[in-house]
């Protein structure tokens, strides 16, 4: 066995690509959950975003438009969830599960004539000067726009919840919707908004999967990525930077185990395939076990329906 076949800076660069869909979806779900809404439809929104973006890219030959439509597709599905849970006050868990099934089915139907086609390539953006730094340049500065966007989004969300008044209102609604209502905040309206944002992020993550990561359309191609994203949010204890670490660990181990499989390592393939899940959960549990007990709990109103006046 020869480890020198693995180029580590390339490996790290591609793990970032592998992690981006999950990171985006998880970040969207984090915003939604911060406002106290549990949307289990991430998988459905992701795959619907994947097919929406894919179809538009194929038809228009413009991947930028494709990514935009991924977002819109995710939001479209999220808006169904928002109407059902916020206006008709249906149970969030059941509605989210239904959304996933609906998204999987609908995308399979829409994508029937699009299997096996390759979309227009999405260009990488080499950052001048920085991209030429050895090793680090390859790892960090030779990616495409969406990867940079996802990292900036993490930073943005971090400051949103740490410093901004609007972030504080979202947090307050997620903590205690009755109190927030008593103070005069529009619980339903803001939840509607965060659900849509969550949908847009999940859709974008799905689009990245079908347009860059794979890039192709296959039925059910998200293969559980939405569920991983959901789990990441919990294990990262609703902290954007932990989410980033978690997503990259997951992406990294996924790639590493694929490489190891290719090298013909004598470990059962099934064991290798499950390793990303185990390691990610292990690391995040370890991190959250030592957390400051007060500040990092789940939003208290998470998953509860608001029946205010």
Partner 1 sequence: MPNKNIILKIEGISKEYPTVKANDYVSLDLEYGKIQALLGENGAGKSTLVKIVYGLVKPDHGKMYLNGVEYRPKGPQDARSKGVGMVFQHFSLFDALTVFENIALGLDKNLKKNELKKRILDVSKEYGLSISLDKIVGNLSAGERQRIEIIRCLLLNPKIMIMDEPTSVLTPGEVSDLFSVLKKLSNAGMSILYISHKLEEIRTLCTKATIMRRGQVVKKCDPQNISTSKIAEEMVGTSFSSPKKSKFKKGKECLKINNLSFKPLDPFGIPIRNLNLKIHHGEILGIGGVAGNGQEEFLSLLSGELKPTNGSLLFDGIDITKFNVVERRNKGLLTAPEERLGHAAVPVMTLTENCLITAEHRMNLSKKGFIDYESSKKLSDEIIKKLDVRTSGSDALARSLSGGNLQKFVIGRELIQNPKIFIVNQPTWGVDAAAASSIRQQILDLAKDGAAVIVISQDLDELLEISDVFCALVGGQLSSPENTSELNPSKLGMLISNSKE
Q: Give 99 or 302: the residue with its C-beta nearer to partner 1.
A: 302
184-243 residues in contact with partner 1 (CB under 8 A) are 184-185
User: Which of 152-183 are b and which e, b meaning 16 or more Cβ less than 10 Å from the residue's Cβ?
Assistant: ebbeebbebbeeeeebebbbbbbbbbeebbee
Cα radius of gyration (the chain): 20
CB 102 within 8 A of CB 44: yes
At 176, list the tokens: 């205690």
> Of the listed pieces 70-78, 116-124, 180-188, 261-269, which binds partner 1 according to CB under 8 A?
180-188
Report the distance separating Cα 86 and Cα 73, nearest Å: 20
* C-alpha dist (Å) from residue 261 to 8, 180, 203, 249: 16, 52, 31, 18
Shortest reach from residue 184's CB to partner 1, in Å: 4
Choose, by CB under 8 A, the member of 4, 112, 268, 295 that binds partner 1.
295
Q: In terms of Cα–Cα distance, which of 186, 289, 271, 205 is closest to 29?
A: 205
| Residues in a beta bridge with 124 | 144
Q: Give 148 or 185: the residue with its C-beta nearer to partner 1.
A: 185
Q: Give 145 or 185: the residue with its C-beta nearer to partner 1.
A: 185
For the chain, the helix, strand and coil percentages under 3-state DSSP, each to the nearest 5: 70, 0, 25
Q: Interface mask (CB under 8 A) for partner 1, residues 242-281, using x and -?
A: ----------------------------------------
Close Cβ partners of 184 (under 8 Å, ≥ 6 residues apart): none
Q: Give 182 or 262: the residue with its C-beta nearer to partner 1.
A: 182
Q: Give 93 or 168: the residue with its C-beta nearer to partner 1.
A: 168
Shortest reach from residue 35's CB to partner 1, in Å: 13
> Does 79 engage in binding with partner 1 (CB under 8 A)?
no
SS3 124: strand
Choose, by CB under 8 A, the member of 68, 82, 180, 232 that binds partner 1.
180
Q: Interface mask (CB under 8 A) for partner 1, residues 158-177, using x and -?
A: -------x--xx-xx--xx-
Q: Give 64 or 166: the residue with its C-beta nearer to partner 1.
A: 166
CA within 13 Å, CB half, 158:
13
Binding site for partner 1 (CB under 8 A): 165, 168-169, 171-172, 175-176, 178-180, 182-185, 293-295, 297, 299-300, 309
């Amino acid at each position: 066995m020869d480890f020198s076949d693995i180029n580590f800076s390339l490996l790290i660069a591609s793990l970032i690509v592998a992690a981006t869909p999950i990171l985006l979806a998880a970040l969207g779900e984090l915003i939604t959950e911060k406002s106290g809404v549990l949307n289990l439809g991430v998988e459905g929104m992701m795959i619907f975003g994947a097919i929406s973006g894919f179809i538009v890219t194929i038809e228009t030959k413009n991947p930028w438009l494709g990514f935009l439509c991924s977002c819109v597709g995710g939001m479209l599905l999220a808006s169904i969830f928002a109407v059902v849970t916020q206006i008709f006050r249906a149970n969030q868990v059941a509605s989210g599960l239904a959304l996933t099934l609906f998204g999987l089915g609908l995308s399979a139907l829409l994508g029937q004539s699009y299997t096996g086609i390759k979309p227009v390539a999405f260009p990488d953006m080499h950052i001048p000067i920085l991209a030429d730094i050895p090793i680090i340049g390859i790892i960090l500065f030779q990616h495409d726009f969406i990867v940079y966007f996802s990292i900036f989004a993490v930073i943005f969300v971090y400051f949103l919840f740490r410093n901004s008044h609007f972030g504080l209102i979202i947090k307050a609604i997620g903590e205690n919707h009755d109190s927030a209502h008593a103070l005069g905040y529009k619980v339903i309206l803001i939840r509607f908004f965060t659900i849509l944002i969550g949908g847009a992020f999940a859709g974008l993550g799905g689009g990245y999967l079908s347009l860059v990561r794979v890039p192709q359309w296959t039925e059910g191609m998200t293969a559980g990525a939405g569920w991983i994203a959901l789990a990441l949010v919990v294990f990262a204890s609703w902290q954007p930077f932990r989410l980033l670490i978690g997503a990259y660990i997951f992406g990294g181990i996924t790639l590493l185990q694929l490489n190891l499989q290719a090298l013909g390592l004598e470990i059962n393939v099934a064991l290798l395939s499950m390793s990303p899940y185990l390691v990610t959960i292990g690391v995040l549990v370890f991190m959250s076990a030592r957390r400051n007990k007060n500040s990092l709990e789940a939003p208290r109103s998470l998953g509860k329906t608001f029946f205010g006046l």
